[in-house]
Amino acid sequence: MPLDAVYITQLKDELARELIGAKIDRVRQPERDTVLLTLRGIGRTDTLLICFGGSARVCLTEERYENPPQPPMFCMLLRKYLIGARITDIEQPERERMLLFRLTAYNELGEAAPLTMAAELLGRNANLILVDAEGRIIDAARRIDADMSPLRQLLPGLVYRLPPQPEPGKFSGLSPLIRREMAFRGLPEEPDSVADLKKVPTMLMENGAPKDFTFLPILQYGPSVESVSCGGWSELLEAFYAQRDRAEHMKSRARSMAKLVRNAIGRTERKLSARIAELGATEDREADKRRGDLITANIWRMKPGMTELVTEDFYEEDAPAVTIPLDSRKSPQQNAAAYYKQYTKKKAAREHLAGLIEENTAEREYLGSIAEEIARAQSPGDLEDIREELIKAGYLRPPKASGKKVKKPKPMPPLRFTTASGLEVLVGRNNLQNDELTFRTARRTDLWLHVLKLHGAHVILCCRDAEPPEEDVYQAACLAAYYSEGVEGGRVPVDATQVRFVKKPRGARPGKVIYTDQKTILAEPRREI
């Protein structure tokens, strides 16, 4: 990301206007590479975020962060030195990607003790270092010894030195994005060229999502990337990283849930395969009954110690000869009883296995529908609703009670669209909402749509007790195709019927329905209608 020296210069000036004179009231370290300082000024309180990880930055933030159960050692050290200190200046060494916060703290005797907090925003080498009045390192978030870097060590007690300067004559401090932009505009890569450019905090948007940020509008991408100006330099960093972090957090949660569902599908499929194999082993049950009958019919001709019985099979036409294995240790009656017992056991197993196979098949279908829900989740609220569904279905444990009353977030509302003629279309976000829409929200005369033989959302075209126009029905079918497993394909078959013809089978899982009187429409997966 282009948090280069020129951007940091603009950020430094903005932060200096707002923070010089503010007092550090609180220090937190919610994550390994993130420190939060609560600052109290005249009539205002701000939170300064300093990130020295992969997303290195300094900005004011309004985001909420959870503190760890125990503060890290570096956080404890910062609290010791920084709480009560005031920011007296914010500096930036020339063309360096770093900020020096000059502070006035007070020691145990009440004497002023100048400190410097150096936020080095150097990408993978980002760091946060606390330096005393004599220029010696009190400590660093990431200590660097001689084995790690022979050129520059960052250890308590050593004199703090700035990062090595670039080669003489080389203009540093510009991100690759800005270098490309200057070449695109035909400008030389020199300090004067950058100084002459108008600086505007700019977010680059691609397909509606944040792509990058910088200090001027970018022309090199053409119309595919939009340059959107923001109110301030700190605000831009906050907006960009907050959106990106939320998106990453959502992706991480979605991946975790998808993995849980995939594992559950795998377990279900293994059970299903084993039970289908067991069911196959019961196919010869009638042969066991037949053997028992033939032994019973031939007891008069059998002798103790026989290992097999050769007799006519009167169940077959022309009564061909058949050989029946016997247990020589058992009497004829006991051999017959053993075959009857096998027959009864296989018959009972077949009935039991048929029920289990039906349950496993339904479970596999249900889990597949949840996997599809996760794939099309659009917000953290969608994932939270799916999580609640997994808890209700027993695939996730409910959170442990903490003793505090936790306000449950309201379920997300269904997606809403309007057709060309003004009819409302409702789209379920998950199985629980699908049931709610179909059996509680929709009127009996509304149109119900669902992609054929694939997992997908229940879609309701609110018809107002009238026959909907064909164009509106097609638009609703396009939505049903889009919010389904068929979204990546071409035209998808979608079934449509009135809600009154949709039924919930007794004991069926959420989202599972049967329906009649449908017509099938070939629809293009499309969200815009």
What is the chain's pLDDT, residue by residue, as a tens digit (529 residues)?
A: 568 999 999 999 999 999 999 999 999 999 999 999 999 987 889 999 999 988 899 999 998 888 888 999 999 999 999 999 999 999 999 889 999 999 999 887 778 899 999 999 988 899 999 999 999 999 999 999 999 988 899 999 999 999 887 665 555 678 889 989 999 999 987 778 888 889 999 999 988 788 899 999 999 999 999 999 999 999 999 999 888 877 788 888 999 999 999 999 999 999 999 999 999 889 889 899 999 999 999 999 898 899 999 999 988 888 899 999 999 999 999 999 999 999 999 999 999 999 999 999 999 999 999 999 999 998 888 999 999 999 999 999 887 765 556 566 678 899 999 999 999 999 999 999 999 999 999 999 999 999 999 999 999 999 988 999 999 999 999 999 999 999 988 899 999 999 999 999 998 999 999 999 999 999 999 998 8
Query: Given this model, what pLDDT does residue 314 score?
Result: 87
Q: How many helices, marked H, and strands, marked E, lie in the chain?
A: 10, 22
What's the DSSP call for residue 437?
I
Q: Six-digit token pair at 366?
A: 């249900």
What's the DSSP call for residue 33?
T
Query: Given this model, what pLDDT does residue 316 score?
Result: 87
Distance separating the N- and C-terminal Cα atoms of the chain = 36
**Contact residues for 183 (Cβ-Cβ < 8 A; gap 6+):** 189
Residues 172, 177: Cα–Cα separation, whole Å:
13
Query: What is the chain's alpha carbon radius of gyration, rounded to the nearest angstrom?
Result: 36
Q: DSSP 3-state assignment of 427?
A: strand
Query: Given this model, what pLDDT does residue 403 score?
Result: 57
Q: Is the pTM of this model over 0.85?
A: no
Strands 447-451 and 492-498, bridge-based pairing: antiparallel
Residues 284, 301: Cα–Cα separation, whole Å:
26
Distances (CA, A) of 18 to 13, 63, 249, 385: 9, 19, 30, 41
Query: Given this model, what pLDDT does residue 59 score?
Result: 96
Query: Given this model, what pLDDT does residue 440 score?
Result: 96
Contact present, 464 and 417 (Cβ < 8 Å): no
| CA torsion, ordered 242, 248, 253, 258, to nearest 10 deg | 150
